[in-house]
Structure 1
Amino acid sequence: MKTEINPITGGANMARRSFLRYAGASAAAVAVMGTAASCSKNDPIFITPGGGTDIGSGDPGILNFAYALEQLEAAFYLQVVATPYSGISSIETAYLTDIRDHEVLHRDFFKAALGSKAIGTLTTDFSTINFSDRTSVLNAAKLLEDTGVQAYDGAGYLIKDAGYLTIAGKIVSVEARHAALISNLITPGSFVGSDQVDGDGLNKSATIAEVLAGANGFLKTKVSAVNYNYKP
């Protein structure tokens, strides 16, 4: 049975422990939250000029980077399911609802894990997406999912805490499933396309700077990461 999510609040009834059961990562998550709660004042969350927000530094900064992306994805799929595109099939509705549920759980998990270190709620801008058109919606979904996987892969080397790394690995595994499914909905058989998987069978990655440059196109609240060196 699916978890019903309010299309406005996006999962207020999804308790954090629901995600822990879903991810199978209770112990790791407790370690993550304990570390986040004990972070020193050397890891602040900066508010950038012009009303934007900065993810901060250290491992909490990486979690905030992921949290920003999960906020974006959750908001997108909440809209997709709330206002289905023309001609959507029952199986597509089921797929997209499952993805929505996952993204909301991811978003709520990061918010709880970060506690007082979490960035604020971001305001999205989906004005370039026609939510009544299947092609527009799925192309946007592919962009968000592919970017999300590349983001986790690209930022992984910056994570120092083993608990954080465990959680990131579990979440990116789910995001990769989403990316493959969306790609296949657009073009059957494209779930391991060369635009995402290289000749060595490895998923491509992107730097934090590259990811935020794209993500900010869908955000009114711009996000920056001035405290990180984007060179791998």
Structure 2
Amino acid sequence: MKRNSSGISSAEQTPDASVIHRRKFLASLGLGVTAAAVLASCDKDDDNDNQAPAGFIDLGRGDVGILNYAFALEQLEAAFYTRVIASQYSGITPAEVALLTDIRDHEVAHREFFKTALGSNAIPGLEVNFAAIDFSSRTSVLNTAKAFEDLGVSAYNGAGKLIQSADYLLLAGKIVSVEARHAAYIRDLLSNGTFADNTAVDMNGLDLVKAPPAVLDVAKSFLVSKLWAGNLPTS
């Protein structure tokens, strides 16, 4: 893969293929209609009872807040995988490049859907903090990817019961299944056969669940931006 002096690959400079890929991905989810529905129903909510502390980004209330919560996580994942492909770790194989690029494109597609769907209700672009990640190290990159994917799956699972709209719940179910595919692949890259071990799946054969506060507590170490979930639904 050719790179310019800034270290950005030619594939990243020419986004046509990935844009087409994302469009196909969104079409496969049936998001043309869903996005319009989200835009129509996500009216600006100006009657929040709770005010975010100074310097914090308020995710919002109700389903809008949950969509912003998902949008924040997708921003984080998209930024991470974009960096992984732009600064590939030592010894990366062609197969790993291909599949990690697919994951990047999925996360970017998720991010862009939420951004478009939320419209004026969307939180701003987040500033990430990847200082603790050694992007030249396969172990560092894949362990971080595992943490992000496991976190994403547990986050969507935990947010499902908080979603009021059946359309949004269907959308979340479609996305979490993709995130679980990512998690399984990354886990097997690290240690073959661990795709669904007892650190990811409980004794009932169910994925683990985390509530938004627990998820954001983990995510904050990778963010400069500060998120506030004080107006998210809790039940």
Structure 1 residues 12 and 114, CA, compared in 2 at 3 Å: closer, same or farther?
Answer: farther
Q: 1:170 aligns with which of 174, 182, 201?
A: 174
- Render the CA deviation track for 1:28-66: whole Å, top value 9, x for unaligned: 333223212x354336996531x2212011100000000
1:182 matched residue in structure 2: 186
Q: 2:86 aligns with which of 79, 82, 85?
A: 82
Question: What CA distance in whole angstroms lies between the structure 1 residues aligned with 2:44 and 2:167?
Answer: 14
1:32 counterpart = 2:43: no
Spell out structure 1 runs of 4+ moving beyond 6 A: none
Structure 1 residues 43 and 12, CA, compared in 2 at 3 Å: closer, same or farther?
Answer: farther
1:120 matched residue in structure 2: 124
| Contact kept in structure 1, 2:52 and 2:228, CA below 8 Å | no
1:93 matched residue in structure 2: 97
Structure 1 residues 14 and 216, CA, compared in 2 at 3 Å: closer, same or farther?
Answer: farther
How many corresponding residue pairs?
A: 224
Structure 1 residues 5 and 223, CA, compared in 2 at 3 Å: closer, same or farther?
Answer: same
Question: What CA distance in whole angstroms lies between the structure 1 residues aligned with 2:49 and 2:137?
Answer: 41
Q: 1:42 aligns with which of 31, 44, 47?
A: 47
- TM-score normalised according to structure 2 size: 0.87
- Render the CA deviation track for 1:67-101: whole Å, top value 9, x for unaligned: 00000000000000000000000000011000000
Shift of 1:214: 0.5
| Contact kept in structure 2, 1:5 and 1:13, CA below 8 Å | no
Question: What CA distance in whole angstroms lies between the structure 2 residues aligned with 1:52 and 1:12?
Answer: 33
> What's the C-alpha RMSD, in Å, of the aligned pairs?
2.4
Shift of 1:224: 1.6
| Contact kept in structure 1, 2:77 and 2:148, CA below 8 Å | yes
Q: Gapped runs of 5+ residues in structure 2?
A: 1-10
Among all aligned residue pairs of Structure 1 and Structure 2, give the percentage whose two residues are the same amino acid. Answer: 50
Q: Tell me, what secondary structure is at the counterpart of 1:158?
A: coil
What aligned pairs does 1:1-232 form with structure 2 within 5 A after superposition?
4-6=11-13, 13=19, 17-36=23-42, 38-42=43-47, 48-49=53-54, 51-228=55-232, 230=234
Structure 1 residues 118 and 149, CA, compared in 2 at 3 Å: closer, same or farther?
Answer: same
Question: What CA distance in whole angstroms lies between the structure 2 residues aligned with 1:108 and 1:145?
Answer: 18
Structure 1 residues 89 and 212, CA, compared in 2 at 3 Å: closer, same or farther?
Answer: same
Q: Gapped runs of 5+ residues in structure 1?
A: none
| Contact kept in structure 2, 1:28 and 1:166, CA below 8 Å | no
